[in-house]
């Protein structure tokens, strides 16, 4: 919102240069930008939305003057009135809707419409307004000086006897001052003559009854409309004007008289108008003035500092509050334009503002909490997952939660429903994601496009699933992606491309790190995953995720040509779980012995068979086993391969003899051969 430095300075002395910005920001008015404009400076202020009363040059000057303890020079308004000209005899105003709380009309005749004097043009141009003619410019000037939107009608263009404030009838039309024809609805509050609408109340006037060079008689309007009514109208018509900006933030019935007086004075001075002796004052139900008890001890309790009653009185009186001393402090009567002041704390904020935030002490409180400190378990778990994934070579990504159905569908399935945004930024951001994988794939694609070959990414985030009605389910999920080389070519080792085992290993390491229940991996068709590479991951009997190689056709849509291995898990039911108590095992007292066995197995045999065979071998002292090698060579019979397993034998009761071990090993191998339908080599 733009203001003129010189204009504010007309009412009070201001600090020079950037000291002004500093002083303004210490009152809560942030100077976003300051640009020279002739010998003036245009200040772009970030105005808090709760201070419509101060969105004007005099309002700012009032605060600056009080803050600096300087006098405020309010403009003097003096003009002659013609007792023979009475507004009430020349026209009428009728309020037909309570959304207009007060309407003040006043007539000026013999108006000489012409260009405004230079000083007035300078003022308006400094804040980016285009001078139009002296009458229109005066209404704009008064709004920016005193904060009250105002409109001037050419009385000779009004049809019938005066103005009516009413709701529009649906379908009525109005060409507003910006030359746009607007179709009105029954909810629009309008100013009308007896034949047609001439203005959109509190938003913009119409072309039909506007002031032009030929205008001789003017009806000034300054009103107080209900904030919500104006806000809805401005939204409905997608109009945002200086007037609507103020009305929707809340004005008051007070302050109208002074603004109209000021405008009349200027009409007399600059347009040699003759001003009517009276006003047409149409007033609905006005709110009672608010009175608030202010307790001195509460000032200290809230601010942590004592403020002298004389200082309290200086500040609040300077802002227009009427004070009455009480045993506990004061009773303050709130000036009507201060729509933001409602409670004792609001008064205390005003005291703090002018006492100076910078003058308040800083103290460290004793922190007490019934709920304890530290991360809640679910956040602690998320952090541990992140650090573990990072320590395994994955980089943390953050992807947008909104995406397109096209991007999600390959993984969510064609028939999945999505949480839809009612007002998305674009089609590409129209729905909430159900899976993290598409976002990670897109990130891999962007990395590929800038020449990155080895890509490992992970993300922990919420996904969103529609539930009954409009309800939305939020699920915490973790996704991992690996493509390209796991280890870059290096003198110390051969390079190696990412594989299923990399993502499976990462997932299992994460699970182990968290002491979550064991995962089961089963070959299964998975949406978006190349047939024959997909796994369904289960835990405690429920499917919790998937892994596999992204279907090359899907990967190609993200411009990734290499194999992309992913895993994605729903961690909602695990993160934050109480960890099982650690059961400490005694260290083995007797030595272990290892034996290897090679088995010729038919292709298509699942390694899960080893787990089945050995899981049941509780009668032998088998301590551990692992797959040492997988061999598929031309020297083997067609359709077979050789698995080499290393088995570790140990007893907790004694040192095993060579014979013990042979007996156990033979038994184990026999079970493997049977379960896997294999041949011992």
Partner 1 sequence: MSSDPNDSAANAGDADGIVARFEADALGIADLDALEELRASYLGRKRGAVTALFQALRELDGDAKRAAGAAANRARQQIGARLEQIETELRSAATASREQAELVDVTLPAIPDNLGGLHPITQTLQEIQNVFVSMGYGVVDGPEVETDWYNFGALNFPEEHPARDEQDTMRLAGDLLLRTHTSPVQIRYMEQHQPPLAIIVPGRVYRRDTPDATHNPMFVQCEGLLVDTDITLADLKGTLDHFAKALFGPGTKTRFRPGYFPFTEPSAEVDATCPACHGDGCRVCKGSGWVELLGCGMVHPALFENVGYDPTKVQGFAFGMGVDRIAAVRYGLRDIRAYYDNDLRFLRQFTS
Using CB under 8 A, pick the residue from 10, 86, 258, 401 that binds partner 1: 401
Cα 153 to Cα 164: distance, rounded to the nearest angstrom:
13
Write down the least CB distance from residue 103 to partner 1, Å. 22
| Of 61 and 506, CB closest to partner 1 | 506
Q: In whole angstroms, what separates CA 487 from the centre of its chain?
A: 41
Q: Which of residues 359-378 bind partner 1 (CB under 8 A)?
A: 360-365, 367-376, 378
Using CB under 8 A, pick the residue from 425, 428, 556, 606 that binds partner 1: 425
Under the criterion CB under 8 A, does residue 396 sit at the interface with partner 1?
Answer: yes
Cα 586 to Cα 599: distance, rounded to the nearest angstrom:
34
- Dihedrals phi, psi of 347, to nearest 5 degrees: -65, -40
Write down the least CB distance from residue 391 to partner 1, Å. 7
Q: Give the contacts of 193 (CB within 8 A, at least 6 positions apart).
A: 158, 159, 160, 162, 163, 164, 209
Q: Say which DSSP state 614 is in.
A: H
Provide DSSP, 484-548. Answer: SEEE--BTTB--EE--HHHHHHHHHHHHHHHTPPPEEEEE---TTB-TTS-EEEEETTEEEEEEE
Under the criterion CB under 8 A, does residue 393 sit at the interface with partner 1?
Answer: yes
| Of 101 and 209, CB closest to partner 1 | 101
Q: Which of residues 225-254 bind partner 1 (CB under 8 A)?
A: 227-228, 231-232, 245, 248-249
Under the criterion CB under 8 A, does residue 35 sit at the interface with partner 1?
Answer: no
Under the criterion CB under 8 A, does residue 627 sit at the interface with partner 1?
Answer: no
CB 244 within 8 A of CB 230: yes
Under the criterion CB under 8 A, does residue 51 sit at the interface with partner 1?
Answer: yes
| Of 223 and 227, CB closest to partner 1 | 227
Q: Which of residues 85-104 bind partner 1 (CB under 8 A)?
A: none
| Of 223 and 389, CB closest to partner 1 | 389
Write down the least CB distance from residue 1 to partner 1, Å. 12
Identify which of 266, 365, 355 has the alpha carbon closest to the alpha carbon of residue 314: 355
Size of site (CB under 8 A) for partner 1: 96
| Of 291 and 449, CB closest to partner 1 | 449
Please give the structure tokens belonging to residue 457: 């990414």
Cα 104 to Cα 281: distance, rounded to the nearest angstrom:
5
Using CB under 8 A, pick the residue from 87, 139, 274, 447 that binds partner 1: 447
Cα 570 to Cα 559: distance, rounded to the nearest angstrom:
27
Write down the least CB distance from residue 592 to partner 1, Å. 29
Q: Give the contacts of 576 (CB within 8 A, at least 6 positions apart).
A: 376, 377, 378, 380, 381
Angle subtended at Cα 378 by Cα 564 and Cα 521, rounded to the nearest 5 degrees: 40
Under the criterion CB under 8 A, does residue 272 sit at the interface with partner 1?
Answer: no
Write down the least CB distance from residue 363 to partner 1, Å. 4
Under the criterion CB under 8 A, does residue 513 sit at the interface with partner 1?
Answer: no
Write down the least CB distance from residue 99 to partner 1, Å. 13
Helices marked H in 237-305: 242-247, 256-271, 296-303
Q: Which of residues 160-219 bind partner 1 (CB under 8 A)?
A: none
The residue with tokens 């227009």 is 320
Q: Which range touches partner 1 (CB under 8 A), out of 261-269, 295-303, 522-530, 531-539? A: 295-303
Using CB under 8 A, pick the residue from 180, 421, 522, 553 that binds partner 1: 421
Using CB under 8 A, pick the residue from 9, 121, 292, 392 that binds partner 1: 392
């Amino acid at each position: 919102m733009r203001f003129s430095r010189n204009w504010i300075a007309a009412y009070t002395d201001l600090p020079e240069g950037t000291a002004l910005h500093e002083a303004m920001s210490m009152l809560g008015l942030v100077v976003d930008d300051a640009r020279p404009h002739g010998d003036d400076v245009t200040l772009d202020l970030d105005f808090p939305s709760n201070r419509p009363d101060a969105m004007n040059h005099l309002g700012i000057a009032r605060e600056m003057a009080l803050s600096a303890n300087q006098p405020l020079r309010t403009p003097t308004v003096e003009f002659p009135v013609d007792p023979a000209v009475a507004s009430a005899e020349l026209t009428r105003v009728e309020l037909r809707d309570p959304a207009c709380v007060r309407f003040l009309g006043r007539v000026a005749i013999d108006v000489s419409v012409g260009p405004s004097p230079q000083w007035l043009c300078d003022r308006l141009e400094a804040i980016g307004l285009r001078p139009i003619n002296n009458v229109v410019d005066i209404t704009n000037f008064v709004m920016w000086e005193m904060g009250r939107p105002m409109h001037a009608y050419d009385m000779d263009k009004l049809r019938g006897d005066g103005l009516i404030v009413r709701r529009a009838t649906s379908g009525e039309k109005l060409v507003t001052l910006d030359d746009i024809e607007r179709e009105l609805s029954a909810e629009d509050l309008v100013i009308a003559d007896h034949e047609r609408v001439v203005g959109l109340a509190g938003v913009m006037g119409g072309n039909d009854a506007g002031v032009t060079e030929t205008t001789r008689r003017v009806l000034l309007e300054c009103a107080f409309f209900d904030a919500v009514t104006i806000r809805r109208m401005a939204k409905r018509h997608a109009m945002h004007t200086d007037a609507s900006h103020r009305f929707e933030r809340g004005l008051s019935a007070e302050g109208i008289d002074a603004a109209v007086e000021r405008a009349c004075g200027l009409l007399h001075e600059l347009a040699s108008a003759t001003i009517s002796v009276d006003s047409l004052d149409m007033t609905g139900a006005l709110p009672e003035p608010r009175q608030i008890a202010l307790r001195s001890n509460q000032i200290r309790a809230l601010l942590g500092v004592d403020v002298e009653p004389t200082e309290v009185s200086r500040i609040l009186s300077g802002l227009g509050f009427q004070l009455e001393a009480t045993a506990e402090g004061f009773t303050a009567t709130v000036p009507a334009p201060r729509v933001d002041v409602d409670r004792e704390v609001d008064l205390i904020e005003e005291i703090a503002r002018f006492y100076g935030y910078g003058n308040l002490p800083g103290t460290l409180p004793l922190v007490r909490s019934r709920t304890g400190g530290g991360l809640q378990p679910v956040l602690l778990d998320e952090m541990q997952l992140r650090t573990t994934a990072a320590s395994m070579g994955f980089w943390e990504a953050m992807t947008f939660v909104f995406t397109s159905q096209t991007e999600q569908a390959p993984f969510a399935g064609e028939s999945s429903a999505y949480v839809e945004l009612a007002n998305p930024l674009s089609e590409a951001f129209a729905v909430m994601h159900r899976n993290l994988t598409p976002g990670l794939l897109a990130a891999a694609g962007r990395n590929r496009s800038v020449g990155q070959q080895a890509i490992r990414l992970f993300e922990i985030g919420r996904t969103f699933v529609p539930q009954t009605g409009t309800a939305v389910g939020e699920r915490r999920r973790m996704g991992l992606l690996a493509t390209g080389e796991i280890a870059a070519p290096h003198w110390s080792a051969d390079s190696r491309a990412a594989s299923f085992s990399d993502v499976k290993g990462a997932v299992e390491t994460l699970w182990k790190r968290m002491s979550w229940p064991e995962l089961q991996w089963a070959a299964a068709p998975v949406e978006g995953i190349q047939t024959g590479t997909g796994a369904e991951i289960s835990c405690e009997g429920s499917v919790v995720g998937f892994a596999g190689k992204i279907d090359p056709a899907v990967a190609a849509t993200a411009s990734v040509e290499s194999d992309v291995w992913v895993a994605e898990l729903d961690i909602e039911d695990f993160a934050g779980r109480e960890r099982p108590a650690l059961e400490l095992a005694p260290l083995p007292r007797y030595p272990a012995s290892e034996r290897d066995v090679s088995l010729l197995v038919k292709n298509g045999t699942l390694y899960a068979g080893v787990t089945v065979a050995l899981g049941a071998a509780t009668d032998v002292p088998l301590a551990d086993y692992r797959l040492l090698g997988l061999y598929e060579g031309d020297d083997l019979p067609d359709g077979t391969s050789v698995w080499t397993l290393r088995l570790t034998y140990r007893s907790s009761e004694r040192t095993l003899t060579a014979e013990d071990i042979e007996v156990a090993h033979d038994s184990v191998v026999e079970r493997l051969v049977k379960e896997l339908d294999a041949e011992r080599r």
